[in-house]
Amino acid sequence: MPELPEVEVSRMGISPHLIGQSIESITWRTPKLRWLIPEELRQLSGQVIRGISRRAKYLLIETDKGCAIVHLGMSGSLRVLDAALPAGKHDHVDLTLSNGKVLRYNDPRRFGAWLWCDVDKQHSVFAKLGPEPLTDDFSVQTFIERAKNKRVAVKSFIMDNHVVVGVGNIYANEALFSAGIDPRRPANQVKASEWTLLVTEIKAVLAKAIQQGGTTLKDFAQADGKPGYFAQELQVYGKAGKPCPQCVNLIEEMKIGQRNTFLCSYCQK
């Protein structure tokens, strides 16, 4: 599943090909992805793409008329291709550009979304989202204030999009390991000094993942297959039974909130 770094790399990958281009048409081959695709998206025709931004895991294709909001869901991806290239089985949405290219949305599981938002309006999908983790709005105080009465496991707490957006399962595991915090601990039992370290590590693991993904940007303009999610240097995620990178103990695996969780019980307290 695409997490925040993959979505940010997608934004970086498509932006040079789209910004400043006129949209000739938008075509969708299925009436519904996660939600119905709104007819309002046809207002994109004739518009110039002014920018590509990201909010949480949503990409915003910005024009003077409004924004197309794109969510990759569980299996979605975007490519910039020659418009003459025939669409494949799971190519559901095409944004045809004046330069002879097309932004093509592929989604085998159809759990993503294409939505519309008018200028100067906020879509309901953004209404309850927490701060972006790589901005100054995301701070130690954010966690301390919101965790006061929360007995939920700290891993589940930092993955709550109402608290902070985009800390998916992989990065929650990695940040908690780097901060030396047991993911099972109740959020209200994490000390202020530990929150300080955890905020630093969340920012670091996300920034590192985006940097690693930057090496794949050329894939967004290749016709021989959709861009895969980039290889990442992970310390504990997916490494159950292997030695901890900091000690000789083995990495354990368990479920927290129905999500696979990896930790070293010796290094994480």
DSSP string, 63-108: -SSEEEEEE-TTT-EEEEEETTSPP-TTEEEEEEETTSEEEEEE-T
Name the catalytic one among 57, 79, 101, 226: 57
Active site residue 2: yes
State the Cα–Cα distance between residues 24 and 45, nearest whole angstrom: 5
- Our count of domains for the chain comes to 2
Looking at residues 116-126, what average pLDDT do you find? 91
45 and 106 belong to one structural domain: yes
Strand-pair partners of 253: 262
Can you say how many angstroms the Cα of residue 40 is from the centroid of all Cα atoms in its chain? 25
Which pair of structure tokens corresponds to residue 163? 């608290």
Q: Quote the pTM value.
A: 0.91
In terms of residue numbers, what domain contains 38? 4-123
Q: What is the mean pLDDT of the chain?
A: 93
Residue 111's identity, in one-letter code, is F
| Domain membership flag for residue 212 | yes
Active site residue 57: yes
111 and 9 belong to one structural domain: yes
> Above pLDDT 90, what percent of the chain?
85
29 assigned binding-site residue: no
State the Cα–Cα distance between residues 133 and 112, nearest whole angstrom: 22
Active site residue 259: yes
17 assigned binding-site residue: no
Q: In this predicted structure, what is the pLDDT of residue 226?
A: 58
68 and 159 belong to one structural domain: no
Q: In this predicted structure, what is the pLDDT of residue 218?
A: 63
CATH number for the domain spanning 57: value is: 3.20.190.10
Looking at residues 238-249, what average pLDDT do you find? 95
64 and 161 belong to one structural domain: no
66-71 and 91-97 beta bridge pairing: unpaired
Q: In this predicted structure, what is the pLDDT of residue 3?
A: 87
User: Which of 79, 96, 123 is where one domain is finished?
Assistant: 123
146 and 114 belong to one structural domain: no
Q: How confident is the model at residue 229 (pLDDT cuts 50, 70, 90)?
A: low
Q: Do 134 and 11 contact (CB within 8 A), yes or no?
A: no
113 and 204 belong to one structural domain: no
Active site residue 252: no
CATH number for the domain spanning 145: value is: 1.10.8.50
| Domain membership flag for residue 20 | yes
User: Which of 123, 157, 175 is where one domain is finished?
Assistant: 123
Q: How confident is the model at residue 193 (pLDDT cuts 50, 70, 90)?
A: very high
Residue carrying the six token digits 């046809």: 42
Q: Do 232 and 209 contact (CB within 8 A), yes or no?
A: yes
| Domain membership flag for residue 18 | yes
Q: In this predicted structure, what is the pLDDT of residue 223?
A: 54
109 assigned binding-site residue: yes
Q: Do 52 and 14 contact (CB within 8 A), yes or no?
A: yes
